[in-house]
Amino acid sequence: MPIHTPLCDLFGIEHPVLLAPMAGVSGGALAAEVSRAGGLGLIGGGYGDADWLERQFDVAGDAKVGAGFITWSLASRSHLLDLALDLAPAALMLSFGDFRPFLPHIRCKESKLIVQVQTLDQAREALDAGVDAIVAQGTEAGGHGGARATMPFVPAVVDIANDIPVIAAGGIANGRGLAAALALGASGVLCGTAFFASDESLASDNAKQAVVTGSGDNAERSAVFDLARGRDWPPDWKLRTMRNAFTRQWSADIDGLTRNLAAEQARFEVAQVADDSDVAAVIVGEAADLVWFREPAQTTLHRMISQAENHLRHISQLIEPIAKD
């Protein structure tokens, strides 16, 4: 029997695996491939670019895909929410910031809403608001995140979620991670790093190779790349990336980076264009150890499901049958 959870029923999908809406990485092709393989692909709306978003939905074609946004960026770009909803996404995911002002409009369009949380207080707010699903994100995740680790955080959210599906995120990139998340009570997983090096990913060639050859030992959280990109993130939200020459130079000297910011921002922009992963950001998490190949996203997802099924069967065999009287 295949793995089937309430998350599959909620979104009408075969496998309880969602593609994280990684900004600049999760485009229409990657989202569509994950959805066609039986999961749910979310296009990374990020900070908001209306033309780019519309193009990526066009690329996705007839595949059932959703979209994700950084919530606080929508405050000054409310038209992006209208655009996304008009594109009839399979789901909308909001992360980082107060989603509640946008909830009435989302409900008017009858779109399913996923909210990502990093604390129990945030989870309670989402539950009280009546969201359709919650992503409980552990600090192992790539990109921005909080301070809670996935293993204790996910079951803590599950314990208060009642019938609302909880989606585990952070450090999950293969079938063992999916099986573990299900054992913690999650209804599925949200994966970014696992699909970063996929053929359909919009990540650059050198960034993909940095992940395939990299290690979670070299994934660190800092404010370096937010400063380099000119992103005004609150100080509590650090960005997890692969360590490189740029972070080694500046992560312990934020004041020095700030003093030299104009020159370093220009250097960073040049590196992005040149695909120089020694300076440009490779935004992945601690699960980099588990990404071994550059391959189609479908291959990654199907292997994840097969591994999870095998591990769940093996775990069940560790329990002795109940003796009959």
In this model, does residue 88 exceed pLDDT 90? no
Instruction: Provide DSSP, 35-64.
Output: HHTTSBEEEEEET--HHHHHHHHHHHTTS-
Confidence (pLDDT) at 156: 98
**Closest of 209, 296, 212, 302 to residue 30, by C-alpha:** 296
pLDDT, one tens digit per residue, over 223-269 is 999 999 988 888 778 899 999 999 999 999 999 999 999 999 999 99
Confidence (pLDDT) at 211: 94
In this model, does residue 323 exceed pLDDT 70? no
Confidence (pLDDT) at 318: 80
Averaged pLDDT for residues 126-131: 94
Beta strands 219-222 and 238-242 are antiparallel
Cα–Cα dist 68/80, whole Å: 11
pLDDT, one tens digit per residue, over 148-189 is 999 999 999 999 999 999 999 999 999 999 999 999 999 999
pLDDT, one tens digit per residue, over 55-66 is 999 999 999 999
pLDDT band for position 325 (cuts 50, 70, 90): low
Cβ contacts of 43-47, under 8 Å, gap ≥ 24: 43/67, 43/68, 44/20, 44/68, 45/21, 45/69, 45/70, 45/80, 45/84, 46/21, 46/70, 46/73, 47/23, 47/73, 47/231
Q: What percent of the chain has pLDDT over 90?
A: 75
Can you tell me whether residue 229 is helix, strand or coil?
Answer: helix
Confidence (pLDDT) at 64: 94
In this model, does residue 77 exceed pLDDT 80? no
In this model, does residue 92 exceed pLDDT 80? yes
Give me the phi and psi of 168, to 5 degrees please.
Answer: -85, 140
In this model, does residue 324 exceed pLDDT 80? no
Other Cβ atoms within 10 Å of 275 Cβ, number: 13
pLDDT, one tens digit per residue, over 13-26 is 999 999 999 998 99
Cα–Cα dist 34/167, whole Å: 16
Task: Please state, rounded to an integer, the average pLDDT across all residues of the chain.
Answer: 92
Q: What percent of the chain has pLDDT over 70?
A: 98
Averaged pLDDT for residues 138-151: 94
Confidence (pLDDT) at 4: 95
Averaged pLDDT for residues 89-96: 93
